[in-house]
Structure 1
């Protein structure tokens, strides 16, 4: 068995080698807090010289710095010494994943690619990220959904959908939490699954790509859509996928969900989905909110704070501010209740104005007094009460008292 020191040396060699495509450091080991939730490394060519670009993401913004030679090696050693939860290095010929046990021991997994699967290297400064799902080989569920042709090509009018699927799967992978879901099978619930493209993608990625046994239940009120999804799942032979016709607030699960998806659930249905996830103690939450009416109505009825009167006298700006405040309150409530929550761009704004994703990981960390004070101040300033607070009032009363 390879020693831990040799495993980390192998990883270091892969990242510094000429075959690197991308390396990602993310998450935090138990009881630790690296200075960045995520750092990505990729090779770039600057003035005809190969550099390694280190992109440091602090949860709000990303700062990229370019290094080469011994300086790149030193910066990599700094990262390797930090208590990240997982490290993944994709090279032209293989993927290396390092997960850390509860005791902090590094465990290396290697997945070598066949020669025909080798990833071509591209050193353009602004090159696109490699797709988690290949674009040029048949994937049955994408064919069944009409995204791919029979010979495995992404249809011209489905390129946007294909990129959206890959970006969503990347948001799941980047949490670094999948390896922590030790109960098998992993239980996933998609509340308000709709057309279910991302529902099918999640099931496929967990079971077929990551090799994590998972079941998935899609919930929606549109019975005709769910009947079609059941038929698709049956054709694919996916016995672990089922669909249930119900409103989110009425849905009764057989067991708590480990992962909750709530993608474009309308208005307060998003809050209902988030409240469900909190009460289940779900490890991961991915919510892409849709329309935001509840808090906007409160803003219209409340006295406008003096500095914002020039803003809120315009209907479109009032609406956008209401959207922003609603999602800020949602993320803040999740933080108060033991989640690490962040608001990210899900897809580019030119694809849809509803392009935000609330991504949350349950840590169980107690609410800091500063977070409580911020929440109270924000409510008092705007004169509103978020609907999610109403749904989780029994959980929040102890935190806010």
Structure 2
């Protein structure tokens, strides 16, 4: 198959609006972008193709008309070796060789999805389906309709379950778990997320499990245990106690800590390591330590010049908060985890929106040595000795 026929094939599908998704990868030479993903969208009643173009680990978006998209295709074909084209009728894979193009096509009967840019979000817990724990916690009515005042909490719970879903899939792929999981929620509070995890594991994943929620407030824990009893929820337990003293389970698969204040997050990470957790998820809150310690050491490299951040208290506070979470992620990597730092929920709903996720892996020695060097340079630049350094260093893999 020659280049002209490839272009005509793509042109015809773009013109007829048959494209559901295109992925162009394996860049040729030194083209500006390393990967391009194209999707159809309808924005303000106008049909467009959205180009998501990747360069230096960043994504750049542009919305083009059908004619503009087709015009750009000829350049794209010249600069990539591999194309995967999903249409309403077939999945097409095209590999560019030295002289020709090899094509493999597989028929399908895909349902055409809505192209609306602002389409209704589908949640793991669907509105309209009565869910006992959400009704009991006052988030939805008996008819399954979410109360307006509780919609932010409903969205947060679903976002949490999306992360849990991804994490469980990865744990299964790595053979860390099969059909049983042990999970602990540190600082569970009113236990919206603990109850959500129980419901998800039982009714969606159909797994066996042991779930524990831990909090310092005795009255809150008593209330949570009463809800679990009233709803006949099995294999879930709520305990009163400090994270540092928890020893109810061993070899835990998953720990989660939502909005544990200041160093409570650090003790959650430590306890995750003590329990040999396969996955650690933490949404930190109120990171005061770095801000205080950085402010007390104006001789550090951070303050070595007229620092436009350091001279403004509110900016230093925000920087210190991000620096804290970066240090936590790097520390977990040195403990043998693959980490990701992600947005937990939209900024408009809560400013505490950073989630750190660590999944156990087996990094090689060279990788760990580079990370340790990065760790020491970073700590020196900030000019502090964080508590986390003392807590987690015994678990470093190097």
Taking structure 1 as the reference length, the TM-score comes to 0.72
CA distance, structure 2, for counterparts of residue 363 and residue 393 of structure 1: 17
Name the counterpart of 2:281: 286
CA distance, structure 2, for counterparts of residue 231 and residue 76 of structure 1: 52
Inter-CA distance 269–71: structure 2 relative to 1 (3 Å threshold): closer
CA distance, structure 1, for counterparts of residue 312 and residue 217 of structure 2: 35
Name the counterpart of 2:315: 317
Name the counterpart of 1:271: 266
Inter-CA distance 207–290: structure 2 relative to 1 (3 Å threshold): same
- Range with bigger deviation, 253-262 or 169-178: 169-178
2:41 aligns with one of 44, 53, 62? 44
Q: CA deviation at 1:223?
A: 0.6
Q: Does 1:395 align with 2:395?
A: yes
1:199 aligns with one of 194, 208, 212? 194
CA distance, structure 2, for counterparts of residue 77 and residue 222 of structure 1: 57
Inter-CA distance 229–359: structure 2 relative to 1 (3 Å threshold): same
> What is the number of equivalent residue pairs in this alignment?
329
Name the counterpart of 1:72: 85
Q: CA deviation at 1:127?
A: 3.2
Q: CA deviation at 1:389?
A: 1.7
CA distance, structure 2, for counterparts of residue 198 and residue 182 of structure 1: 21
CA distance, structure 2, for counterparts of residue 212 and residue 126 of structure 1: 34
Name the counterpart of 1:13: none
1:216–1:241 Cα contact (<8 Å) kept: yes
- 1:88-99 to structure 2, matched below 5 A, reads none
1:337–1:364 Cα contact (<8 Å) kept: no
1:59–1:342 Cα contact (<8 Å) kept: no
Q: CA deviation at 1:329?
A: 0.3
CA distance, structure 1, for counterparts of residue 378 and residue 257 of structure 2: 25
1:289–1:356 Cα contact (<8 Å) kept: yes
1:132–1:170 Cα contact (<8 Å) kept: yes
Inter-CA distance 284–43: structure 2 relative to 1 (3 Å threshold): farther
Name the counterpart of 1:236: 231
2:40–2:47 Cα contact (<8 Å) kept: no
Q: CA deviation at 1:73?
A: 3.1
2:186–2:243 Cα contact (<8 Å) kept: yes
Name the counterpart of 1:179: 172
Name the counterpart of 1:135: 127
Inter-CA distance 203–58: structure 2 relative to 1 (3 Å threshold): farther
* Gap runs ≥5 in structure 1: 1-16, 23-34, 80-90, 93-119
CA distance, structure 2, for counterparts of residue 291 and residue 308 of structure 1: 27
CA distance, structure 2, for counterparts of residue 64 and residue 159 of structure 1: 30
CA distance, structure 1, for counterparts of residue 38 and residue 163 of structure 2: 17
Inter-CA distance 368–59: structure 2 relative to 1 (3 Å threshold): farther
How big is the alpha-carbon RMSD for the aligned residues of Structure 1 and Structure 2? 3.5
Inter-CA distance 199–56: structure 2 relative to 1 (3 Å threshold): farther
Instruction: Please tell me whether Structure 1 or Structure 2 has the larger radius of gyration of its CA atoms.
Output: 2
Secondary structure of 1:384's aligned partner: coil
Taking structure 2 as the reference length, the TM-score comes to 0.73
Q: Does 1:124 align with 2:116?
A: yes
Inter-CA distance 128–278: structure 2 relative to 1 (3 Å threshold): farther
Name the counterpart of 1:223: 218
1:148–1:155 Cα contact (<8 Å) kept: yes
Secondary structure of 2:357's aligned partner: strand
CA distance, structure 1, for counterparts of residue 295 and residue 334 of structure 2: 27
CA distance, structure 2, for counterparts of residue 163 and residue 336 of structure 1: 33
